[in-house]
Amino acid sequence: MSKCLAASILILAAFFSSFPATHAEETALFRLTDRAAPVGISAREPSLATLPDGRIILSWTEENGAEAEVRMAILDGSEWSDARTIHKSSKIYINWADFPSVAVLADGGLAAQWLKLNGEGDYQYDVNIAFSMDEGRSWTEPLIPHDDRSQREHGFVSLIPDQFGGLTALWLDGREYDNQTEGESFENAMQLRARQVDSDGAMKPESLLDARACTCCQTSAARTASGDFVAVYRDRTAEEIRDISIVRSIGGEWTQPLTVHNDGWEIAGCPVNGPAIDAIGDKATVIWFTAASDEPRVRIAFSDDGGMQFDEPLRLDLGAASGRVDVLQMLDGSVLALWMEYVSGGEAIVLCHVSRGTGCAAPQALYVNRGAGSVGFPRMTRGEAGAFVAWTQPTGASDRSTTVRVVEVALAP
């Protein structure tokens, strides 16, 4: 361990020990402002998106008896719109790691994705996608992007808007998973698939991007200056190496998967810990978690050519990483990086401003949770002064007693 990293661990450990668990406050690097969202009872699994005019979309789920709702609201300055229901059903699948999201389309519309049960088992569900042209007040009938209708898992979706008002949906597909009676083959695994959906809901043919991906880690994708897509996910080799791979869509044709970095993490099971990517122009950055050699780490890698090549990764964590990462690309090539660290008696959401030259110079804990339940997978989106961060906020002794917390993060001058 380097002297710099060791010193950072000691500094952050002292900070964690004194950090209040109930209120975000101003520090030297980030100014934090709570933005209390119009969520209901049992709100959880938030996601965020930014409209072209700078307003912020928050989406989340709420459970009410046998039914659940996917909901959204829009933050304009410091004021929230009313909460708007995207979909309500007794069949909505609620999962802490595989949750709904809303994407902003080029024509001003919105697209939302969520999961709907298609069988009696815990992992039998389809991807649903719907569109809105009135900022979420009304939605089209949902479509299913995958042709497969088997009672297996279809989830961990990324929606990538194109420049024409449509999108490409990327998901993990279980049509071949556990689909043989004896033994296992390379193809008997979760697949990574994608499909282009036009603004009118018309769908192009499916694309199989990888015949063997890790079972239950999030996917992530972004669009580069050329209009091409770049997507990252946790791969799975026949030898159970589960490192991060990248695929790119160039002119509508997907490239073969390439490994972002050869961590060599051999694990005979899914760690439920996917990567994240963001891009501005041709600058793209990937962040991920690995525990290769039984050493939990958060790594980040920069690219200047839209994800064709990446620099040697930097290590971000402070010695007790649990992953659950997110990243926001900045115009100057630096990024905001977010991840989770274990602390004494709980878990901390850590944010850092990262550059190639300095790495993570001053990590900051946005929140330390020492109570029952978990903050889940905190999500970020771009804000005028920096970013917005949202997470599941435990409120009591029960794991199901939650709300959603949103914090505006401004970079200090």
Q: Per residue, what are the HEC states of 155-218?
A: EEEEEEECCCCCEEEEEEECCCCCCCCCCCCCCCCEEEEEEEECCCCCECCCEEEEEEECCCCC
The pLDDT value recorded for residue 337 is 98
Please give the pLDDT value at position 184: 54
Whether residue 399 has pLDDT greater than 90 = no
Residue 20 has pLDDT above 60, yes or no: no
Q: Is the pLDDT of residue 235 over 60?
A: yes
Work out the percent of the chain whose per-residue pLDDT is above 90: 81
Cβ neighbors of 228 (< 8 A, separation 6 or more) are 248, 249, 250, 251, 306
Q: Which two tokens stand for residue 68?
A: 């659940």
Share of the chain above pLDDT 70, in %: 90
- When pLDDT is cut at 50, 70 and 90, the band that residue 186 belongs to is low
3-state secondary structure of 123: coil
Average confidence score pLDDT of the chain: 90
| Angle, alpha carbons 309-315-320 (nearest 5°) | 145
Residue 374 is predicted with a pLDDT of 93
Domains and their CATH numbers in the chain: 51-337 (2.120.10.10)
Mean pLDDT of the region 351-379: 93
Task: Give the chain's length.
Answer: 413
Question: Is pLDDT at 385 greater than 50 in this prediction?
Answer: yes
Q: Tens digit of pLDDT for each residue in 279-302?
A: 999 999 999 999 999 999 999 999
Q: Name which of 15-19, 254-258, 262-266, 321-325 the model is least confident about.
A: 15-19
Residue 341: pLDDT above 60?
yes
Residue 213 reports pLDDT greater than 90: yes
Q: Please give the residue that has the higher pLDDT: either 303 or 15.
A: 303
Question: What is d(CA 335, CA 195) in angstroms, rounded to the nearest whole number?
Answer: 29
pLDDT surpassing 70 at residue 152: yes
| pLDDT tens profile 51-78 | 999 999 999 999 988 999 999 999 999 9
CA–CA distance from 282 to each of 279, 292, 326, 386 (Å)? 7, 30, 19, 20
Q: Rounded mean pLDDT of 141-169?
A: 96
Strand partners, 160: 168
Instruction: Point out the least confidently predicted range of 19-28, 31-40, 385-394, 401-410.
Output: 19-28
The tokens 């998973």 sit on which residue?
A: 177
What is the rounded average pLDDT of the residues 39-43? 92
- 401: confidence class by pLDDT, cuts 50, 70, 90: confident
**What is the reported pLDDT for 412?**
73
Q: Which pLDDT value is given to residue 28?
A: 56
Looking at this protein, which amino acid is placed at residue 11?
A: I
Q: What is the pLDDT of residues 106-132, one digit of tens each?
A: 999 999 999 999 998 888 999 999 999
pLDDT at 153 over 60: yes
